[in-house]
Amino acid sequence: VNDSLMRFFDHCAKFVALVEENDAAMCQVNAFREGPEMRRVLEKVASALCLPEEELNADLVQVAFLTCSYELAIKNVTSPWCSLFSEEDAKVLEYLNDLKQYWKRGYGYDINSRSSCILFQDIFQHLDKAVEESKSSKPISSPLIVQVGHAETLQPLLALMGFFKDAEPLKANNYVKQMHRKFRSGRIVPYAANLVFVLYHCDQVKTSEEEYQVQMLLNEKLMPFHHSNETISTYADLKDYYKDILENCHFKEECELPKINVTATDEL
């Protein structure tokens, strides 16, 4: 168990102070919660339950929707709570959750993803070691390495690597524009989400660079790499593409709280 590695966000003072514990950092989430799309869902649910609107709020509606989704996902049964929501309502509530994930664990603020560089570098250190052992004809000391964390571990790491990034940020006022967004946390980090790096040693190759190649699978599906749009890359090309993160992302410096008195928005 290595919490500093797998729960890097707990150990990053800048993230904790300026995002985790800063209400202002979630301004887009809060604005959507009070916006017209959520208001329509609230009115519908209140009407279906024969309740005055003032007795409901976005949080309670979200609890009802999550109860519906949990029972469907875990037990494969349609909860009575599901009858309160149409498909359009579900899309609105999905967007509310995606907004939270985007601003708290994704691309909303640089520190969200930069704090994960300690884990990113650890992955490549293991891959480097395997390559070195292979080149010197030694047995691979750790042929399989398993690290167990949470969605909150995986989402920032994927953002650091540039996956599922939309041209425009997710905001409270662009719900319709983001209907076809790439950033959908339910698909990126579902239950039992997993990210696998597979390192191959290839014998019959034309160049020495092609001897070591890598594939990456997210939730058991091959992911195309950014630099090539292919699902396999030479290890050298992959390291070169992420050279800046591997060499210049230092957890201690990234996570240090600013010493000057600036606002959270300016710093983030």
Q: Give the whole-angstrom CA distance, residue 255 versus residue 173.
A: 30
The pLDDT of 193-201, averaged and rounded, is 97
pLDDT at 268 over 80: no
The pLDDT of 29-54, averaged and rounded, is 96
The pLDDT of 179-204, averaged and rounded, is 96
Domain segments of the chain: what residues?
Answer: 3-255
Mean pLDDT of the chain: 95
Q: Can you give the pLDDT at residue 10?
A: 96
pLDDT digits (tens, 9 = 90+) for 129-147: 999 999 999 999 999 999 9
pLDDT at 260 over 90: no
Q: Which CATH superfamily is 3-255 part of?
A: Phosphoglycerate mutase-like (3.40.50.1240)
Lowest average pLDDT, out of 51-60, 129-138, 203-212, 255-264, goes to 255-264
- DSSP assignment string, 163-215: TT--SS---TT-TTTTTT-S--HHHHS-TT--EEEEEEE-SS-SSGGGGEEEE
pLDDT digits (tens, 9 = 90+) for 83-97: 999 999 999 999 999
Q: Can you give the pLDDT at residue 263?
A: 56
pTM: 0.92
